[in-house]
Amino acid sequence: MPPTILVMFLSAAAVASSQYMANLIPDSVPLATRRKSDREQSWCQSQTSQCPLICLQIPGAKGSPTQNTCSADTLAYQCVCSNGLSPNASQYSLTMPYYICTETATQCVNKCSDSACQSACRNDHPCGAQKPKIANTTATSATPVISTSVANIQATKVPTAGASQSFPLGNGYILQSCVLIGGVIAGLAALP
């Protein structure tokens, strides 16, 4: 394997496997953006529409969540299924964590001065349907946290009073693999 190809392959692998933790400050996104997206649907409307659909995928839950709220002002949301479990919405597309993730990546890209940086921003922020996990029954009573930490998170049992939702974003193995393969192919295509 020529050294150039090896260097490109290793560089793409390093970018695809890197992990980035970022917090999105709600006020860094215009309220108009949080209320309206490209599809003329608000982030919160989408989150509350997805909650019942996600609950249908949790064993023992029905499509009628006991809590299904969202605030465009704070980006906080609640999705508690009929069986008391709160699914990890970050593992699904068109949820509040998905929009937060895509906006974090967009803000990162906007700060870049070259295409390598822009590519790294997108690779470091895999968003949406990753590898949804079956819910567990761990109890939690945390304050609202907006985090895009890359972690292996599962749905948690949420107390009915005073609970808040934390939504770390899951690993993007599929996206990272696609980016890695795409980088290798693009590198090979660029060779004379």
* Secondary structure (DSSP) of 173-189: HHHHHHHHHHHHHHHHH
> Looking at residue 90, what DSSP letter applies?
G
pTM of the model: 0.54
Confidence of residue 79 (pLDDT cuts 50, 70, 90): very high
Q: Does residue 35 lie in a domain region?
A: yes
Range scoring the smallest mean pLDDT among 74-78, 89-93, 141-145: 141-145
Task: Give the pLDDT score at 117.
Answer: 93
pLDDT, one tens digit per residue, over 116-143 is 999 998 888 788 776 655 554 444 444 4
Domain membership of residue 75 (yes or no) is: yes
Residues spanned by the domain of 72: 22-171
Q: Determine the residue type at 39.
A: R
Q: Is residue 67 part of a domain?
A: yes
8 within some domain: no
Residue 158 falls inside a structural domain: yes
Q: What is the pLDDT of residue 24?
A: 75
180 lies in a domain?
no
Q: Which residue has the higher pLDDT, 143 or 15?
A: 143
- From CA 111, how far away is CA 113, in angstroms rounded? 7
How far lies 51's CA from each of 29, 62, 115, 180, in Å? 23, 11, 36, 32
Give the range with max mean pLDDT: 19-23, 30-34, 135-139, 175-179.
30-34
Residue 140 lies in a domain: yes
Mean pLDDT in residue range 91-103: 90
pLDDT at residue 52 greater than cutoff 90: yes
The answer to whether residue 181 is domain-embedded is no
Q: Which of 14-18, 105-109, 157-161 has the highest mean pLDDT?
A: 105-109
Residues in the chain, overall count = 192
- Label residue 60 left, alpha or beta by phi (over 0 means left) and psi (-120 to 50 means alpha): left
Domain count within the chain: 1
